[in-house]
Amino acid sequence: MYTGLIVMLPEIIISVMACFILILDLFISKAKKNIIYYLSQITILSVIFISFYLITTPRCTLFYGAFVSDFYSVLFKFIIAIGGFCIFLYSKEYLKYIDLFKGEYFVLCLLSILGMMIMVSSGTFLTLYLGLELLSLPLYSLIIMNKSAVSSEASMKYFIMGSIASGIFLFGVSLVYGMTGTIDFKLINQIIINEEVFSNITLQYGLAFIIAGLVFKFGAVPFHMWVPDVYEGSPITITMFIGTIPKIAALGMAYRLIIDTFSVLNTELEFLFITIGTISLFLGNIFALSQINIKRLLGYSAIAHVGFIFCGLAASDVSDFGPITFYVSIYILSSLGAFAIIIALSSKEKEANLITDLNGLGLSYPVMGIMMMLFLLSLAGIPPTAGFFAKFFVIKSLISYGFFELALFVVLMSVIASYYYLKIIKTMFFEQIYTNIKINGMSKLGLCFILINGGLILFIGIFPDMFLKICSIP
Amino acid sequence: MFLNIPLLSFIIWLPIIIGCLMLIFNNDKKKFIAKNFSLITSIFSLYLCYLLYLEFKPGLWEMQLLENKAWISNLGIFYTLGIDGISMPLIILTCLMTFIVIIFSYNSINKYVNQYNAYFLIMQGLVCGVFASLDSILFYVFFESMLIPMFLIIGIWGGVNRIYATIKFFIYTFLGSVFFLISLIYLHYVLYFNSGEITFSILKFQSIYLSISQQKILFWGMLFAFAIKVPMWPVHTWLPDAHVEAPTGGSIILAAITLKVGGYGIIRFLLPIVPDGCLIFSDIIIILSFIAIVYIGLVAIVQQDIKKLIAYSSISHMGFVTLGCFLVFSFNFNSEYFREAIIGVEGAMMQMISHGFVSGAMFLCVGILYNRLHTKLIAKYGGVAHKMPVFASLFMIFIMANSGLPGTSGFVGELLIILTAFKVNYLYAFFAGLTLILGATYNLWMYKRVIFGKIINSDIFKLTDVIWHEKYPLFLLAFLIILFGIWPAPLLDLIHPSIEHLVYQIMQSKVF
């Protein structure tokens, strides 16, 4: 029943709508730009519904294996679409302030989302690369859209580093192609198993280069230098975009590479992932301690979280991908909320990007303050928020794979991490109020969604069972 | 009559839900509604505790009033609640102390009243959850969530240096508890590989066989969490800071309840799960306890600040709890000394409950003085007895209880532990007995400087005696302290069967 093009309906809808909106934008006066916004939201909503219905479809491939639709690809699309919906909703009012409420903005975001979706359901290296570039190229231009000097620097940095990373990735792909003669994930897997080329040094080199591409997309050490600068330099709405849903796309890429392609090379990958993970955790947390810019702080904390994801990837396999998916989804949910509150506090004149800009939030607006506290505690992994169970499940699978020391290291790092989250809570609740704080960067609906977002964090923190089941393969 | 109601869940969730509802309203204009509302909630919790007491069948060691529901069913994590003679008194203590804090806050807190009371109610529910949970992950979730309200209480309503103190408190405790979490997951897998059972149940953990090397690792992993909470000597430094900066209510809850969570954890997790590990390291713990008792007692003598003095005396008294728990292992699993071992652990339990009353009352007294004079320095006081005679005489009772005078509840626990120490070693008994001298020294000397003497500071002339919301909590606590001092039998009967079972469990090796 679900055969043919219907499994790629989400991608088709987004690409058609993106083109349509791009043309429509030419004929719409500046006062009526709301239409563009609603059209984009409808697009995303329809993708949410379609992927919700597709989630039960069995695995199938299209275009001679170039496009794969299975449980995880649909689940990742679902999460990406929900994230995209929230991002548009949260940024709407603020975009008007900074004069970015334009058709191009939404089109570029939609195209980037399309890239992510292609990435998570790619079946060959070519599709993967296509998705990767489609994800990145709109982002480069989105960062620079407000034409400030800082953004130009950030965009330039991101662009150059991203291009180098793409080149490295392609070089790795060519090595793997040279050894196996194909770019299809399943075939590569078969060939590695049948011809027993595990210890082939060229193949392993190729693998290392491919992983480098993945590491860059995630923003882990040693390819992490762009993260804090891009987070700081972009307008806050774009920071929210970069800081959230591309992580799940990168997870999808990791799923394709680890589970579909190189599942037999697990021991080599394990070592690589643990090294990357531990170093990222350490550096991300240490650098985050001294930040005063909240966007930069969240950037470094993203590096640390990605380190944690890599540690978790070392202890994942096809039947056990639930915990890490749960972790990334909760990470996205929590950071979405945190960014949304920063947006809500920003005004026409000034982005609330310093920690001190949050001063007095907890006491002047207790509900919003408590919501922000929930998001931060969830990022720090403290119960009763969802972040605790996200960490708990991953640590549990680490121990079940025998990585006892790694688990100890990870939890010690989370103690260090708790300090910089507490520092923000301290500013919100404990310090003398010296600024007159105002929530004016967000519509009523957006504020309601922040409440829902926070309520969800608390709800999943108390009843994690259902959500873990959703994230695990049925 | 109330058998059909899940009483424990009610005791846990009612204050939490009401507290969360109160957080939504941020209006300091309607303070009295918030105050009365939280007072009613707290009285209702006490009534629920009374029902709990009626439902509880003394004389049984088994877990009672069990509640069991699937929580994260795939991973074997259940919402399991149940109480025995060890946890029941602590739950009642928690509700009682929160009640006292809420009465006391009636006139002493003037900003963000809603939030203040709400955080205490949430705290009460969470601590009851810690004492009542029989699933280790449930325990851990409550154990960690407890940090958040306390963190906010110290941070928002605390003194000048509150931010340093509260972050230190949070990070110290968090550091300890992550090791505990790893130990729990490790235990889970040991159980899984031994018997194929997927569970996090504390009772299952207690009956699991473990090799010596496993027990050694688990011992330190779990001890670290509880040693910080108790707190034991080298990791105690967060406590004086937190106490000095916390508002009066925060200090009371911190001393009377959260420290007990550490002791409870030792009794519930450490002793029954890793008895051989405890046996191997018991000498170290006993020495650390003596350092806490003697050295910290000496430190308390020279304190300039009343709150700091009481904080150090708390550490010294909690040293007795760890001493009582670990003296059991000096009998080397020799069943001849079964009775003495029981007395030791019972002493530790009595000491915990009595310390709950006494330290709570002492911090209450300091709070009363602080509200009037806004200083905690001993040197600023003197001659308070002339102006506040009722207060002075009540304070005397607490001072006596804190130094372990016979006739007060402070004496019972110390006596029982010293009795056990005598069986083990005269030297131990001597060191343990030193506390009576040291305690009397720092307590009475402080009392003399604050209450007696001539009035030097002119502000003292303006003092007024205690009013109703200060007087009645003090009377209540004084009554309880004297009651359990001269007639500890009801309490001992309540805890005896559970302790007996516990000691029976820990007096045999778990190595197979």
Q: Which residues contact A42 (CB under 8 A, 6 or more apart)?
A: none
Work out the percent of chain A whose per-residue pLDDT is above 90: 52
Sign of the CA dihedral with B93 first, then B94, B95, and B100 last: positive
Tell me what pLDDT residue A338 has. Answer: 93
Q: What is the pLDDT of residues B75-132, one digit of tens each?
A: 889 999 999 889 999 999 999 999 999 988 887 777 788 888 899 999 999 999 999 9
Q: Which among A57, A103, A104, A109 is positioned nearest to A81, based on CA atoms?
A: A109
In single-letter form, the type of residue at position A191 comes to I
Q: Do B171 and A418 touch (CB under 8 A)?
A: yes
CA distance A315 to chain B (A): 15
CA distance B477 to chain A (A): 32
Contacts of B155 in chain A (CB under 8 A): 426, 429-430
Q: Do A430 and B147 touch (CB under 8 A)?
A: no
Q: Lowest-pLDDT range, A132-136, B32-36, B420-424?
A: B32-36
Name residue, tokens 């829902």: A452
Establish if B152 touches chain A: CB-CB under 8 angstroms: yes
Give the span between the Cα atoms of A379 and B484, in whole angstroms. 46
Give yes or no for a contact between B261 and B139, defined as CB atoms under 8 angstroms apart: no
Contacts of A466 in chain B (CB under 8 A): none
Establish if B214 touches chain A: CB-CB under 8 angstroms: no
Tell me what pLDDT residue B296 has. Answer: 92
CB atoms within 10 A of CB A352: 23
- Binned at pLDDT 50, 70 and 90, residue B24 comes out as confident
Contacts of B190 in chain A (CB under 8 A): none
Is a pLDDT exceeding 70 seen at residue B27? no
The predicted complex's ipTM stands at: 0.93
Q: Do B141 and A388 touch (CB under 8 A)?
A: yes
CA distance B181 to chain A (A): 9
Tell me what pLDDT residue A168 has. Answer: 93
Give yes or no for a contact between B60 and B42, defined as CB atoms under 8 angstroms apart: no
What's the mean pLDDT in A438-449? 86
Helices (H), A258-400: 266-288, 294-314, 322-345, 361-364, 366-380, 386-400
Give the span between the Cα atoms of A64 and A69, in whole angstroms. 13
Give yes or no for a contact between B240 and B254, defined as CB atoms under 8 angstroms apart: no
What's the mean pLDDT in A380-388? 91
**Which among A383, A422, A465 is the nearest to B144, CB-wise?**
A383
* Peptide linkage before A222 cis (omega within 30 of 0): yes
Q: Lowest-pLDDT range, A225-239, A294-308, A388-402, B49-63?
A: B49-63
> DSSP letters of A196-249?
T-TT-HHHHHHHHHHHHHHHHHHT-TTS-THHHHHHHHS-HHHHHHHHSHHHHH
Contacts of B72 in chain A (CB under 8 A): 389, 464-465, 468
Give yes or no for a contact between B238 and B173, defined as CB atoms under 8 angstroms apart: yes
Coil, helix or strand at residue B78? strand
Q: Strand (E) positions, B157-280? A: none
Give yes or no for a contact between B70 and B79, defined as CB atoms under 8 angstroms apart: yes
H or E element that contains A461: helix A444-462
If you count residue pairs, one on A and one on B, with CB atoms under 8 Å apart, how many are there?
A: 91
Higher pLDDT, A302 or B469: A302
**Which among B141, B166, B181 is the nearest to A411, CB-wise?**
B181
Instruction: Extract the tokens encoding B179.
Output: 């090791």
Sign of the CA dihedral with B299 first, then B364, B11, and B46 last: positive
- Name the residue in chain A with its Cα closest to that of B116: A363
Establish if B156 touches chain A: CB-CB under 8 angstroms: yes
Give the span between the Cα atoms of A211 and A214, in whole angstroms. 5
Computed over every residue of chain B, the mean pLDDT equals: 89
Tell me what pLDDT residue B423 has. Answer: 87
Q: Do B163 and A400 touch (CB under 8 A)?
A: no
In single-letter form, the type of residue at position A192 comes to I
Check residue B471 and report its DSSP letter: H
In single-letter form, the type of residue at position A61 comes to T
CA distance A6 to chain B (A): 33
Coil, helix or strand at residue A122? strand
Q: Do A400 and B189 touch (CB under 8 A)?
A: yes
- Name the residue in chain B with its Cα closest to that of A467: B72
Is a pLDDT exceeding 50 seen at residue A342? yes
Q: What is the pLDDT of residues B449-481, one digit of tens each?
A: 888 888 887 878 888 888 888 888 899 999 999
**Which among B73, B137, B179 is the nearest to A465, CB-wise?**
B73
Check residue B267 and report its DSSP letter: I
Give yes or no for a contact between B218 and B275, defined as CB atoms under 8 angstroms apart: no
Higher pLDDT, A261 or A156: A156
Q: Which residues contact B100 (CB under 8 A, 6 or more apart)?
A: B252, B360, B364, B473, B476, B477
What is the 3 state secondary structure string of B2-17?
CCCCCHHHHHHHHHHH
- Binned at pLDDT 50, 70 and 90, residue A437 comes out as confident
Burial group, residue A292, by CB count within 10 angstroms (0-12, 13-18, 19+): exposed
Check residue A265 and report its DSSP letter: G
Give the span between the Cα atoms of B489 and B69, in whole angstroms. 36
Tell me what pLDDT residue A1 has. Answer: 45
Q: Which residues contact A418 (CB under 8 A, 6 or more apart)?
A: A380, A381, A382, B170, B171, B174
CA distance A372 to chain B (A): 14
Is a pLDDT exceeding 60 seen at residue B350? yes
CA distance B144 to chain A (A): 6
What is the 3 state secondary structure string of B93-126?
HHHHHHHHHHHHHHHHCCCCHHHHHHHHHHHHHH
Is a pLDDT exceeding 70 seen at residue A46? yes
Give the span between the Cα atoms of B315 and B348, in whole angstroms. 14
Is a pLDDT exceeding 70 seen at residue A182? yes
Residues of A with CB under 8 A from a CB of B: 363, 366-367, 370, 377, 382-384, 388-389, 392-393, 395-396, 399-400, 404, 407-408, 411-412, 414-415, 418-419, 422-423, 425-426, 429-431, 463-465, 468-469, 472
Give the span between the Cα atoms of A247 and A253, in whole angstroms. 10
| Residue A371, beta-bridge partner list | none
Mutation test of the interface with chain B: which of A320, A375, A382, choosing the one with the most B Cβ atoms within 10 A? A382
Contacts of A384 in chain B (CB under 8 A): 141, 145
CA distance B142 to chain A (A): 8
CA distance B160 to chain A (A): 11
Each residue of B411-440: b (16+ CB within 10 Å) or e? bbbbbbbbebbebbeeebbebbbebbebbb
**Which among A384, A396, A412 is the nearest to B185, CB-wise?**
A396
Tell me what pLDDT residue B28 has. Answer: 67
Give yes or no for a contact between A334 and A403, defined as CB atoms under 8 angstroms apart: no
Computed over every residue of chain A, the mean pLDDT equals: 89
In single-letter form, the type of residue at position A213 comes to G
Give yes or no for a contact between B347 and B414, defined as CB atoms under 8 angstroms apart: yes
Residue A155, Ramachandran bin (φ over 0: left; ψ between -120 and 50: alpha; else beta): alpha
Is a pLDDT exceeding 50 seen at residue A171? yes
Is a pLDDT exceeding 50 seen at residue B1? no
Q: Which residues contact A444 (CB under 8 A, 6 or more apart)?
A: none
Tell me what pLDDT residue B399 has. Answer: 92
Is a pLDDT exceeding 90 seen at residue A348? no
| Residue B420, beta-bridge partner list | none
Q: Do A465 and B145 touch (CB under 8 A)?
A: no
* Distance between start and end Cα atoms, chain B: 46
Give the span between the Cα atoms of B384 and A100, in whole angstroms. 68
Q: Do A426 and B115 touch (CB under 8 A)?
A: no
Q: Do B141 and A383 touch (CB under 8 A)?
A: yes
Give yes or no for a contact between A369 and A429, defined as CB atoms under 8 angstroms apart: yes
Give yes or no for a contact between B182 and B221, defined as CB atoms under 8 angstroms apart: yes
Q: Which among B378, B393, B357 is positioned nearest to B300, based on CA atoms?
A: B378
**Which among B72, B167, B189 is the nearest to A422, CB-wise?**
B167
Instruction: Extract the tokens encoding B135.
Output: 């699933």
Q: Which among A86, A60, A87 is positioned nearest to A73, based on CA atoms?
A: A60
CB atoms within 10 A of CB B287: 14
